[in-house]
Amino acid sequence: MFQHISLPPDVLPPVAPYSHAVRAGDFLFVTGQLAEDATGVVGGDTIEAETTQVMENLKQVLAEAGSSFDRVAMARIFVTDFDFYEPVNQIYASYFQPGRLPGRTTVGVTALAGSGKVEIDLIAYCGN
């Protein structure tokens, strides 16, 4: 069974044709989120601000699906510059309980949609 989850367009409009998340059985696959706000503008004056917006967007998608960061099993982080690695790590880690971090991969890329500098996608477990 698949359940497609999308937030209302006035909350977090998709920048392409996709669902914000898809639940497949006991797993929730959350689409990579950028630092877009409710108006669809991707931005942030600093990498810290951009990463915070990405994490807040992920939090909204997880909540809409009935999940949370404590259910995340795997994360992938995409950055356009590895100089962002440490500041992204600091913001990212603050959304998880110490000692309960998910598995993770970080990938350096040449560009992201909407001129973003960081994008994060998640896989969460939604079973019992």
- pLDDT (tens digit per residue) in 39-56: 777 777 899 999 999 999
In sequence order, what E strands does the chain have? 2-5, 21-24, 27-33, 72-79, 103-108, 118-125
Residue 90, classified by CB atoms within 10 Å of its CB into exposed (0-12), middle (13-18) or buried (19+), is exposed
CATH of the domain at 59: 3.30.1330.40
Average pLDDT over residues 82-110: 96
What global pTM score does this model have? 0.92
- Domain holding 42, by residue range, is 2-125
pLDDT score recorded for residue 16? 79
One-letter amino acid of 73: A
- As for how many domains the chain has, the answer is 1
For 82, other C-beta atoms within 10 Å of its C-beta total: 10
- pLDDT (tens digit per residue) in 58-82: 999 999 899 999 999 999 999 999 9
pLDDT score recorded for residue 63? 92
